[in-house]
Structure 1
Protein backbone atom coordinates (compact mmCIF):
# COMPACT_ATOMS: atom_id res chain seq x y z
CA UNK A 1 0.00 0.00 0.00
CA UNK A 2 2.84 2.39 0.83
CA UNK A 3 4.32 1.76 -2.61
CA UNK A 4 1.01 2.55 -4.28
CA UNK A 5 0.73 5.80 -2.37
CA UNK A 6 4.22 6.89 -3.37
CA UNK A 7 3.66 5.88 -7.00
CA UNK A 8 0.62 8.14 -7.03
CA UNK A 9 2.55 11.12 -5.72
CA UNK A 10 1.92 11.05 -1.97
CA UNK A 11 4.90 12.93 -0.54
CA UNK A 12 5.05 11.35 2.92
CA UNK A 13 4.29 7.75 3.87
CA UNK A 14 4.98 6.46 7.37
CA UNK A 15 5.51 2.71 7.65
CA UNK A 16 5.04 1.06 11.03
CA UNK A 17 6.57 -2.38 11.38
CA UNK A 18 5.73 -3.28 14.96
CA UNK A 19 6.21 -2.15 18.52
CA UNK A 20 9.73 -3.61 18.61
CA UNK A 21 11.18 -0.15 17.93
CA UNK A 22 10.22 1.08 21.41
CA UNK A 23 13.60 0.15 22.90
CA UNK A 24 14.49 2.26 25.87
CA UNK A 25 16.90 -0.22 27.41
CA UNK A 26 17.98 -2.69 24.73
CA UNK A 27 18.76 -0.53 21.71
CA UNK A 28 22.27 -1.86 21.05
CA UNK A 29 21.05 -5.44 21.30
CA UNK A 30 17.84 -5.18 19.26
CA UNK A 31 18.57 -2.51 16.63
CA UNK A 32 20.61 -4.72 14.25
CA UNK A 33 17.83 -7.32 13.96
CA UNK A 34 15.11 -4.70 13.57
CA UNK A 35 17.12 -2.95 10.86
CA UNK A 36 17.57 -6.21 8.93
CA UNK A 37 13.80 -6.73 8.92
CA UNK A 38 12.99 -3.34 7.40
CA UNK A 39 16.02 -2.14 5.40
CA UNK A 40 15.36 -4.06 2.20
CA UNK A 41 11.56 -3.50 2.08
CA UNK A 42 12.03 0.22 2.69
CA UNK A 43 14.67 0.36 -0.02
CA UNK A 44 12.29 -1.18 -2.56
Structure 2
Protein backbone atom coordinates (compact mmCIF):
# COMPACT_ATOMS: atom_id res chain seq x y z
CA UNK A 1 0.00 0.00 0.00
CA UNK A 2 2.87 2.38 0.80
CA UNK A 3 4.47 1.74 -2.58
CA UNK A 4 1.22 2.56 -4.36
CA UNK A 5 0.82 5.79 -2.39
CA UNK A 6 4.43 6.77 -3.12
CA UNK A 7 3.92 6.08 -6.82
CA UNK A 8 0.81 8.28 -6.97
CA UNK A 9 2.55 11.05 -5.01
CA UNK A 10 5.52 10.98 -7.38
CA UNK A 11 3.26 10.99 -10.44
CA UNK A 12 1.32 13.95 -9.04
CA UNK A 13 4.48 15.94 -8.43
CA UNK A 14 5.68 15.28 -11.98
CA UNK A 15 2.37 16.42 -13.45
CA UNK A 16 2.35 19.63 -11.40
CA UNK A 17 5.96 20.40 -12.32
CA UNK A 18 5.29 19.72 -15.99
CA UNK A 19 2.33 22.09 -16.03
CA UNK A 20 4.38 24.90 -14.51
CA UNK A 21 7.17 24.36 -17.02
CA UNK A 22 4.81 24.34 -19.99
CA UNK A 23 3.00 27.41 -18.69
CA UNK A 24 6.28 29.29 -18.30
CA UNK A 25 7.39 28.32 -21.78
CA UNK A 26 4.07 29.50 -23.21
CA UNK A 27 4.46 32.88 -21.53
CA UNK A 28 8.00 33.25 -22.89
CA UNK A 29 6.86 32.40 -26.41
CA UNK A 30 3.97 34.86 -26.11
CA UNK A 31 6.33 37.67 -25.04
CA UNK A 32 8.62 36.89 -27.97
CA UNK A 33 5.67 37.07 -30.35
CA UNK A 34 4.61 40.40 -28.92
CA UNK A 35 8.13 41.78 -29.50
CA UNK A 36 8.09 40.61 -33.12
CA UNK A 37 4.63 42.08 -33.64
CA UNK A 38 5.73 45.42 -32.17
CA UNK A 39 8.80 45.53 -34.40
CA UNK A 40 6.68 44.75 -37.46
CA UNK A 41 4.23 47.52 -36.59
CA UNK A 42 7.08 50.02 -36.10
CA UNK A 43 8.59 49.09 -39.45
CA UNK A 44 5.21 49.39 -41.15
CA UNK A 45 4.67 52.89 -39.73
CA UNK A 46 8.08 54.08 -40.98
CA UNK A 47 7.29 53.10 -44.58
TM-score by length of 1: 0.28
Larger RCO of the pair (alpha carbons < 8 Å, separation 6+)? 1
Give the structure with the higher percent helix: 2
Q: Which of these two proteins has the greater Rg computed from alpha carbons?
A: 2
Using the size of structure 2 for normalisation, the TM-score is 0.27
